[in-house]
A and B are shown apart, each in its own frame.
Chain A
Amino acid sequence: MHRTTIKVVEDALDANTTLAKANRSDFDRSGVTVVNLMSAPGAGKTTLLTKVLGDMKGVRVGVLEGDVQGSLDADRLAHLHLPVVQIQTDNGFGGECHLDANMVRSALPDLPLDDIDLLIIENVGNLVCPAEFKVGEDIRIMVSSVTEGEDKPAKYPLMFRACEMVIVNKIDLLPYLDYDLDKFNYYLDGVHPEVPRMFVSAKTGEGMEELRDYLVGLATRTAAPATT
């Protein structure tokens, strides 16, 4: 019995990256644009979806809901009559705090990929782990609500750097909070300079039209090359 040292030099997340690429090629083959929607718990991801997915101007949308337990979020979207698939992550050790490429892959047979243009993957509410695990998405959108405080980009830089769009939600509450919007922009520009951002309120409807147009634009952007 003796000891040997083996050189490995492999990213420990390579297995996830490989599966994410496999998901991505399945999405591409069906011409589906995929959004990974991430935020802390309670930032309003599902509420935003209920507000904008009702009329997507002809874009056919499917939703993949990730939660530790239950189907409350999927139930809230039921009235929209969209294909919604719920993934529960509680098979893991107490429930995984994020979706990974393998979980998304296991849900693909339940999704009518050929009949949708846009798939929104609503990740588990968490500002840490979802940023580490790609699932095969085209774009990552982060929702940050003003009740979380303006310092979150500085505290969770990886999450705010890993996204292509930041949606600041619940701005109707600004008059009641000490939240400093300029400071938020300052912190966000520090970790992700010039990342596009929208300031919205799912409650009052402010910014919902803009968000809908943005999502519709994402779906048509990818659809264009597929038709040529």
Chain B
Amino acid sequence: MALGSAVVNTATKHAAGRQVKVVTMSIGKLRQVVPDSLSFYFDIIAKDTVCDGARLDINIVPALLRCDNCKKEWEPDFPTFRCPFCADSKVTVLSGEEFMVESLEVEEDEPCTAPQ
């Protein structure tokens, strides 16, 4: 729930008073975030904010690790952070730890002059 709150706060800050329709996020597979739970709490916390009724779109980012020793890269299935090629334990996480608000779709009040 605190994570849902963090998403609503970040979105509200960037919306600067405009009504938010869609929040797009990237969440890494290595985070212990359950997308359905996050959406559920997002909806509750968004009430009475500019995010009320907004849709939360979540893109799951696969985990990608790189061995610092042999430089090979792999996508782990089972949570293991040891290189499957050379068994070295110094591993860099290239992706999979994101908890990022990527973009917002907001409603502008003023008439739009751009072609629809």
Residues of A within 8 A of B (CB): 1-16, 92-93, 96-98, 100, 128-129, 131-133, 153-154, 156-159, 161, 189-194
Contacts and interface: CB of A to CB of B under 8 A. Distances in A.
A2 B14 contact: no
B108 A12 contact: no
Contacts of B25: 12
A10 B32 CA distance: 19
B3 interface: yes
Interface of B: 1-3, 6-7, 9-11, 14-15, 21, 25, 30-32, 44, 78-82, 89, 91, 98-109, 111-112, 114, 116
Given A3-B108, A190-B81, A10 B10 contact: yes
Nearest to B31: A158
Given A12-B100, A13-B6, A154-B78, A3 B107 contact: yes
A76 B30 CA distance: 36
Taking chain B's interface residues, is the majority helix, strand, or loop, or is none over half, making it mixed? mixed
A190 B103 contact: no
B6 A16 contact: yes
A96 B2 contact: yes
A7 B104 CA distance: 7
A15 B109 contact: no
B54 to A, nearest CB: 12
Contact of B105 (A3, A10, A14): A3
A158 B6 CA distance: 19
Contacts of B14: 6, 8, 10
- A-B pairs, top 8 by smallest CB distance, nearest first, are A193-B89, A2-B112, A157-B79, A190-B80, A12-B6, A8-B101, A6-B104, A12-B10
A205 to B, nearest CB: 32
